Structure 1
C-alpha cells in the first residue's frame, strides 16, 4: 500500500477547521463521490465496545451519537491521546469488493478503520469541499470484509459520517 505524505498540520486528522462566514448562501459544487453527503442522514447510536457495533451502509450518510470517552472501550488505541470531555464510539461497515474507501466527517473527530483488532493505515487526509460542511475526509485502501469504524476525540456528542465506496 502506498502512503501519501501529509501536506502539513492543517491536513492532519485532528486539525480544526473554522466555519467560513463567506459560505453563507453559497451553493456547493459536489464532487461525484461526495454527493450523498447532502442526503437525509440516518440516526445511529455508536456502540461503546466493538462486539456490539451497529452496521452502516456505505454511500448513506449517518448521524452517529457518541458516548463520553470514559465509557467506551476501543478495539485499538488511537495514536492521538483523547482530550478530556470528548466523545467516542464504534460502528461497523462491510466492504463487498476491494478498493479505495473514504470516510467523511463533519467534525474533527479521530478516525480509525479497524480490521481484526488492528488499525488500517490511511492513505491520505484532507478537508472536504469548501462550504460543504465536511470537516475532513480520510482515505483508506480496503480489502473485501467487515471493518469497525472507531470515532474518538470528538468535541461533540454527535457526528455526521459518510463511508464513501469506490467510484466508477
Structure 2
C-alpha cells in the first residue's frame, strides 16, 4: 500500500505536466478565416435531397438558411445560364442549377461541401464574389463564398467537379 501511494505521488505531477503541455485538439474547419458556427449548424442538420435543374425552368427553388443535397448530372447535359467564370473540367464533370428567392438584399454566404465552381447570377448578370474561404480538410462546409445579393430571384450555377452530389446552403452573412 505504501509503495502504491509513493508511486502515485511520484507520477501525479508528471501526468499533470503532460496534460497541461499537451497540444490542444485542432478545431473543426479551422482553415476557414471567419467564424462559421452558424453555417456549421446548418450543415449539422439533415439535408433536403433535390435534383438540380438541367435548365433554368427546371431549377428547384431553395430557401435561405436550409441545407440541401443537390443531385447533379453530367455537365454536358446542363444548359448553363452563362459560361462559367472559371474554366471547368469537361470530361466527367457534373453540373446543375438552382434558384433562391432573397427576401432582403444583403451579404450572403453560399457554402458547399465539395470544391464545385459556383456562379451566382441575378437579372441575367454574373455577380462577383466579395470574399471566399475554405478548408480542404473540412466538408461541413469545405468552401464558402460571400456575395452581395439583391432582393429577388438569384440563380446558382454549379459546375466543374466530378462528384454527383453537393450539399449546400445559402445563409445571411453577419
Task: Note if contact 1:113-1:149 (Cα within 8 Å) is conserved in structure 2.
Answer: yes
Aligned residues: 144
Q: Higher relative CO (CA 8 A, sep ≥ 6), structure 1 or 2? A: 1
In the other structure, the counterpart of 1:95 is: 102
Q: CA RMSD in A?
A: 2.2
Higher helix residue share: 2
Q: Is 1:159 equivalent to 2:166 in the alignment?
A: yes
Q: Is 1:110 equivalent to 2:127 in the alignment?
A: no
Find runs of 4+ consecutive structure 1 residues off by over 4 angstroms: 26-30, 128-132
Q: Is 1:127 equivalent to 2:118 in the alignment?
A: no
Change (3 A) 1:41 1:115: same
Task: Note if contact 2:96-2:157 (Cα within 8 Å) is conserved in structure 1.
Answer: yes
Structure 1 gap segments, 5+ residues each? 1-21
Q: Is 1:80 equivalent to 2:89 in the alignment?
A: no
Structure 2 gap segments, 5+ residues each? 1-24
Task: Note if contact 1:109-1:153 (Cα within 8 Å) is conserved in structure 2.
Answer: yes
Distance in 2 of aligned mates of 1:149 and 1:90: 6
TM-score (norm 2): 0.75
Q: How does 1:53-64 map to 2 (within 5 A)?
A: 53-64=59-70
CA-CA distance at 1:33 after TM superposition? 2.6
